[in-house]
């Protein structure tokens, strides 16, 4: 009995039996479809973004209804559970002119069938205040080549200046509120800085942010508290005193209201998952 003669085929770098048929090429497109069809919705690739504290994923259908997203998005838009976001539109999730702007960008991507890369836009930080984010959006195609939605990522920009509010005169008031974190300035001062009446100022804040000046100011305080706690150089009690809270209990109550966590629980989170 003789051993079968083995040849070396330099074309594919493998050894094979002389006279044997070459291996059949795999249909990798079919393998991809089969693999994707087998994935449970809750285990799709967007789960890979859950551990990234400053980068978020989303996918929406043609109607703008959210179908997939990374969990880190939830506190940025004031939600506690994934069920609250499933099917929600930008109009339901974000106040005033922001939703209109986001949907216009979605439409550009879907109509052109081209991605929108490196777009700097205003989105919301962990306490719900506007900040600069880099947005990348991509059209989603079905197997016939038709666009069926849009997906993308959001990543916080490292920019020193807070975003302005296009089309409003709130800039001076925002600057004052962000500077005076220990004491809420008189509403008349804010209105005068913007050249409007106090009532008009209140109405403008609600139209743009969906909240009043005092709540905006409190969110600024909580955002600063998050930044100080992240450094590890300040105790919870020290942060409460420095930001003008009457005591640590009062600080904890406000912190939890705006972030969903107590300061201590916030510090226990892994750094990668912390907003």
Instruction: Please give the angle made by the CA atoms of 118, 103 and 136, to the nearest 5 degrees.
Output: 20
Q: Determine the structural domain holding residue 128 and report its residue range.
A: 33-156
- The confidence band for 67, taking pLDDT boundaries of 50, 70 and 90, is very high
Q: In sequence order, what DSSP letters do the residues of 206-245 get, joined into one string?
A: HHHHSS-HHHHHHHHHHHHHHHHHHHTSS-HHHHHHHTT-
Percent of the chain whose predicted confidence (pLDDT) is above 90: 45
Both 50 and 152 in one domain: the answer is yes
Please say whether the beta carbons of 273 and 49 come within 8 A: no
| C-alpha distance from residue 85 to each of 64, 66, 258, 274 (Å) | 12, 7, 18, 20
Strands (E), the chain: 6-9, 14-17, 55-61, 66-69, 116-124, 130-141, 147-156
Q: Comparing C-alpha atoms, which of 130, 112, 110, 114 is closest to residue 122?
A: 130
Domain boundary among 89, 121, 156: 156
**Do 111 and 80 fall within a single domain?**
yes
Q: How confident is the model at residue 164 (pLDDT cuts 50, 70, 90)?
A: low
- Please indicate, yes or no, if residue 10 is contained in any of the structural domains: no
Helices marked H in 39-170 = 82-85, 90-93, 96-112
pLDDT tens figures, 239-254: 999 999 999 999 999 9
Question: pLDDT value at position 272?
Answer: 40
Q: Is residue 70 part of a domain?
A: yes
Domain boundary among 123, 156, 189: 156
Instruction: Confirm if 163 and 130 have CB atoms less than 8 A apart.
Output: yes
Tokens of 242: 């420095």
Range scoring the smallest mean pLDDT among 104-108, 197-201, 229-233: 229-233
Assess whether 119 and 213 both reside in one domain.
no
Range scoring the smallest mean pLDDT among 155-164, 178-187, 198-207, 221-230? 155-164
> Which residue would you say has higher pLDDT here, 158 or 212?
212
At 167 the pLDDT is 45
């Amino acid at each position: 009995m003789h051993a079968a003669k083995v040849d070396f085929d330099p074309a594919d770098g493998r050894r094979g039996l002389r006279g044997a048929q070459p291996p059949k090429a795999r249909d990798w497109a079919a393998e991809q479809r089969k693999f994707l069809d087998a994935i449970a919705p809750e285990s799709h690739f967007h789960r890979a973004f859950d551990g990234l504290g400053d980068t978020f994923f989303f996918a929406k259908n043609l109607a703008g209804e959210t179908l997939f997203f990374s969990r880190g998005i939830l506190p940025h838009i004031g939600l506690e559970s994934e069920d609250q976001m499933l099917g929600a539109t930008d109009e339901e999730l974000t106040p005033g002119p922001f939703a209109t702007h986001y949907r216009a960008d979605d439409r550009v991507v879907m109509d052109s069938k081209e991605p929108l890369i490196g777009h700097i836009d205003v989105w919301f930080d962990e306490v719900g205040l506007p900040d600069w984010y880099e947005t990348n959006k991509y059209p989603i195609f079905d197997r016939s080549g038709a666009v069926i939605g849009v997906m993308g990522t959001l990543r916080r920009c490292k920019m020193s200046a807070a975003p302005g509010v296009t089309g409003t005169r709130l800039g001076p008031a925002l600057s004052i509120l962000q500077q005076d974190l220990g004491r809420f300035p008189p509403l008349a001062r804010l209105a005068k800085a913007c050249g409007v009446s106090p009532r008009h100022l209140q109405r403008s804040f609600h139209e743009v942010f969906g909240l009043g000046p005092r709540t905006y100011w409190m969110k600024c305080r909580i955002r600063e508290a998050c930044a100080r706690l992240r450094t590890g150089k300040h105790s919870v009690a020290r942060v409460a005193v420095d930001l003008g809270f009457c005591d640590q209990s009062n600080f904890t109550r406000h912190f939890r209201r705006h972030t969903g966590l107590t300061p201590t629980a916030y510090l226990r989170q892994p750094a990668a998952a912390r907003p």
